Amino acid sequence: MTTLAFVIHISGGTLALVAGTVAAFAPKGGRLHRAAGNVFFVCMLVMAAFAAYLGIVVPDQINIFIAAFTAYLVATAWLTVRRKEGAIGLSEKIGLLAAIILCAPFAILSFQLATGLPPLFKSTVRFEGPVLIAIYSFTAVLAIAAIGDANTVLAGGISGAPRIARHLWRMCLGLTLAAGSAFTNGLPRLLPPPVHVTTIFFLPQLIPIGLLLFWMIRVRLTGWYKHAAIAGAAAR
């Protein structure tokens, strides 16, 4: 059962990387982008679901939190563009609850580490250096996601450029996590023992991060979305 779960997890992740790459570079809003995005969404959920299972039966290899966070990101990103503009439903409220549950322990831990209090979690890894930076980074991302979900629910929906930005940054970050899982966790396990994870293994993650930054600037700080919306209305 564990071997089968690994096969499905890896297969889902591989297909997600391919579909996500296609969606990232395809014209936004086009048929190819939507089709690839749907495949990416389904494959990421499959990968995350089996990662959660493996996180229970093989806890030293896969992190359950990362699996839950990945599923949350792609699910809320996909639902953002599936939902009509300026509208919400039960799924957005569930997403907000999930964001709070994911963010709360990291927020508490970050506060304790920043103030010198005893940490909430006991770990064999010391909370310093890259580990400390990673904890603060995850806390910041989770806080941004939770605040975004809260604003969406309280406002009764989201529309325009903020809606597209919400979809894109969550999808790009999901793709970043998939790339990280593949190249810094999965791939090294297939290589001979003397091979160690070096900086080059982290390079594939820089591509979706770069795309995330590019689209956030283009959607929020330029007139791209307005021109795209006008062109789409004219085409219809």
Predicted confidence (pLDDT) per residue in 58-108, tens digit: 766 557 888 899 999 999 999 999 999 989 999 999 999 999 999 998 899
Nearest-angstrom CA–CA distance, 74 and 211 = 16
Predicted confidence (pLDDT) per residue in 14-54, tens digit: 999 999 999 988 888 889 999 999 999 999 999 999 988 88
Predicted confidence (pLDDT) per residue in 191-227, tens digit: 666 666 667 777 888 888 998 999 899 888 887 777 6
* Distance, CA of 65 to chain centre: 12
| Rg, Å, the chain Cα set | 19
Q: Give the domain ranges of the chain.
A: 88-156
Confidence of residue 234 (pLDDT cuts 50, 70, 90): very low
**Closest to 146 measured CA to CA, from 97, 108, 109:** 97
Confidence of residue 7 (pLDDT cuts 50, 70, 90): confident
The predicted structure's pLDDT at residue 224: 74
pTM for the complete prediction? Answer: 0.85
Roughly what angle, to the nearest 10 degrees, separates helices 64-82 and 31-57? 160
Strand, helix or coil at 216? helix
Nearest-angstrom CA–CA distance, 91 and 62 = 27
